[in-house]
Structure 1
Amino acid sequence: MGILVTILREIESVVSEVDENQMKEISNYFDMNKRIFVDGEGRSGLMGKAFAMRLKHLGYEVYVIGETVTPSLQDGDIFFAISGSGSTKFVVENAKVAKGLNCKVLSVTSKADSPLAKISDEVLIVPATTKYDTGEKKSVQLLSSLFDQSVHIVLDGLCLILSMKNNITNEMALKQHLNLE
């Protein structure tokens, strides 16, 4: 078996364990009248940026924490955090601040008992190996690659749920896509 097939099988193994009902529950928090703030560090942050981009294509008002054009959070906003370990310092601290501002805190993590999961209103568990795992479930890949890859697919799935819920077609999303390319 080749290395790419091995990676694909690992991703399939993780994604098949994600609870799609949990994805639908999280989708209920997304409202076109609410602002969404996405947070994550490192590669989790990159997956968050990809998710934010797709949400923008679906017509949501979305911002990425740490960008220069990100406004302040307000009561009722959605704070969407991604952390494989669920204990990334700045992400957890930002989630606490968001909670204190009466934002809905949604998170994606591999650890249901993590600090991030405990303060979240809703948690989507992506049961992939992360860089700190030493348990039975191992990956041939380095660090948190399996978590990051799986999160990308799961969040694209969440976007598909949202597009179907809001009757957004590919043509409608394309109108929101950058047209300078």
Structure 2
Amino acid sequence: MNNLGKKIINELSEINNFINASDLFSLVSTIDKSSNIFLTGVGRSGLMLRAFTNRLMHLGYNAYMIGDISTPHTKPNDILIIGSASGNSTHLFQQAEKAINDKLKIAVITANKESSLVKKADILVIIPTQTKDTNPTSLQPMGTLFEQSSLLLYDSIVLMLMEKNGETSDSMKTRHANLE
């Protein structure tokens, strides 16, 4: 791997040391108890959530990316997971308000502990990175470190849920799309 790749891996390793484990365990527990899991994010953060939604489905959860045509109606025992580096997207804030009115749990994964979405969260996971709106601390541009870190966080949650529910790669494969 080239020198820049090593620097990226070092940045990711450092960020992992600052994610609060109890917040992560709270999110895992709430996901596991929820009837339906709704996920939302925009841009590259949304793409990371789309990958997470797919793995949650492979685990056997009812997981839906907001905006997909097959997303069902919500109910009170559901959770809305919002991923947003800035935590200030008006669109995501409006979705959170609607979900709160419908009595969903709200989980927010963000880099900005002062954001408007933080005030809406029942569960909050802070990934302490720069955003496109803050001063650069990463060698990578804008919110790249947040996006990479969030994908690793989501994959960690998948591993935690696999262990909790006795799932394996083989059992998950039975839920993988067969019409590709």
Q: Which residue of 2 aligns with 1:165?
A: 164
Counterpart amino acid of residue 145 in structure 2 = L
Counterpart amino acid of residue 133 in structure 1 = T
Moved over 6 A (4+): none
SS at match of 1:31: helix
For 2:34 and 2:27, the matched residues in 1 are separated by 16
Could you list the runs of 5+ residues in structure 1 that have no partner in the other structure?
Answer: none
Could you list the runs of 5+ residues in structure 2 that have no partner in the other structure?
Answer: none
Q: Shift of the alpha carbon at 1:132?
A: 0.8
Structure 1 residues 79-88 or 69-78, which shifts more? 69-78
Contact kept in structure 1, 2:34 and 2:78, CA below 8 Å: no
Counterpart amino acid of residue 177 in structure 1 = H
Contact kept in structure 1, 2:48 and 2:147, CA below 8 Å: yes
Structure 1 residues 26-35 or 114-123, which shifts more? 26-35
Q: Which residue of 1 aligns with 2:74?
A: 73
For 2:173 and 2:117, the matched residues in 1 are separated by 34
Q: Shift of the alpha carbon at 1:75?
A: 2.1
Counterpart amino acid of residue 75 in structure 1 = P
Q: CA RMSD, aligned part only?
A: 1.4
For 1:33 and 1:11, the matched residues in 2 are separated by 30
Structure 1 residues 3-12 or 53-62, which shifts more? 3-12
Identity of aligned residues (%): 32
Q: Shift of the alpha carbon at 1:162?
A: 1.0
Counterpart amino acid of residue 159 in structure 1 = V
Structure 1 residues 168 and 150: alpha-carbon distance in aligned structure 2, compared to 1, 3 A threshold: same
Q: Shift of the alpha carbon at 1:76?
A: 2.1
For 1:9 and 1:33, the matched residues in 2 are separated by 35
For 1:143 and 1:110, the matched residues in 2 are separated by 12
Counterpart amino acid of residue 126 in structure 2 = I
For 2:119 and 2:72, the matched residues in 1 are separated by 26
Counterpart amino acid of residue 161 in structure 1 = M
In the TM superposition, what are the counterparts of 1:134-149 in structure 2 within 5 Å?
Answer: 134=135, 138-149=137-148
What is the number of equivalent residue pairs in this alignment?
Answer: 179
Q: Which residue of 2 aligns with 1:28?
A: 29
TM-score with structure 2 length normalisation? 0.94
Contact kept in structure 2, 1:109 and 1:124, CA below 8 Å: yes
CA deviation string 1:11-58 (max 9, x = no partner): 111112112221111111123661010000001100110110010010
TM-score with structure 1 length normalisation? 0.94
